[in-house]
Structure formats: C-alpha cells, structure tokens
C-alpha cells in the first residue's frame, strides 16, 4: 500500500515575463502515483515570497485578465518600500497576500476534485526569478 503522506518538488521555468502557468497536468501526474486511487487531500505550496497558486479557468483569457487585475491592484511603479530588483519589484512581494502561496484540494478516487473550468496555476509576476519550485503533497 502506498504511503499515507507523499511529497515531491516540481520545477517550473517561468521565464522573464509575468505568467500564469497551468500546472494541472503535473498535479494529476503526481496524484496518479501518490494517491493510487485513494481519497485524501492534495496540498500545493510555492516556497517563494513572490509567487502564488490560483484556481482559475485558463485559455479563455481569464489568465490574462488575472495579470491585468494584478497590475491594477499592484502597479509596477516606485510606490513600494521594498525596492531591490526590477522597477516596481516591491509589488511582487505583496502578491502572496492576494494570490495565496498554497491551496489544499480534495482528492476523490485518486483524482483532483476540480470544477469544470478550474485549473491549478502558478502565478508569477517576478521577472527577476525565472525558476520556481512548487511542493506537491498528498495526504491519505
């Protein structure tokens, strides 16, 4: 029988532009092995101070809308006290207060219990950090 708790690190290259990266398939691949058909909880965590996890529809413009909304809420200008890095980088450090760095989702019979249009996405507005780690965990 598989372990009650399994965890793995996923590496995601986000590049030098702001991105919403759909990692649903990576999550499902992990659960196929880790959950092995069981019910439990899936936790996803980004151990970075400038990235988050969102459950959002992708491919129909919602991912671009999210980035646009974040630009409205968190403009990349000189208002931020945190000033190292690219201009406006201080806003990237506020992002996890709006787009949480973690999510816990139900797993039923080894599969993520997502809504019809929901995808698990990494949200990264930090153009200075092009490589991200994402911790995937399953608890039966």
Helix (H, G, I), strand (E, B) or coil at 45: strand
Provide the domain count of the chain. 1
Evaluate whether 124 touches 19 at the Cβ level (below 8 Å): yes
Global confidence as pTM: 0.94
Helix (H, G, I), strand (E, B) or coil at 121: strand
φ, ψ of residue 97 in degrees (nearest 5): -75, -20
Domain of residue 126 covers: 5-139
Q: Provide the CATH number for the domain around residue 96.
A: 2.60.120.460
User: In sequence order, what E strands does the chain have?
Assistant: 5-13, 19-22, 40-45, 51-56, 102-108, 111-112, 119-124, 131-139
Question: What is the pLDDT tens value at each position of the chain, 140 positions in all?
Answer: 568 999 999 999 999 899 999 999 999 999 999 999 999 999 999 999 999 999 999 999 999 999 999 999 999 999 999 888 888 899 999 999 999 999 999 999 999 999 999 999 999 999 999 999 999 999 99
């Amino acid at each position: 029988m598989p372990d009650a708790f399994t965890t793995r690190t996923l590496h995601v290259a986000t590049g030098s532009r702001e991105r919403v990266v759909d990692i649903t398939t990576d999550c499902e691949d992990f659960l196929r092995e880790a959950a092995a058909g069981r019910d439990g909880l899936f936790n996803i965590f980004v151990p970075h101070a400038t990235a988050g996890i969102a459950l959002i529809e992708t491919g129909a413009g919602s991912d671009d809308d999210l980035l646009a909304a974040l630009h409205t809420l968190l403009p990349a200008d000189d208002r931020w006290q945190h000033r190292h890095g690219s201009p406006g980088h201080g806003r990237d450090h506020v992002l996890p207060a709006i787009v949480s760095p973690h999510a816990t989702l139900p797993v039923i019979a080894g599969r993520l219990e997502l809504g019809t249009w929901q995808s698990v996405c990494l949200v990264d507005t930090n153009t200075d950090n092009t490589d991200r780690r994402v911790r995937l965990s399953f608890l039966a």
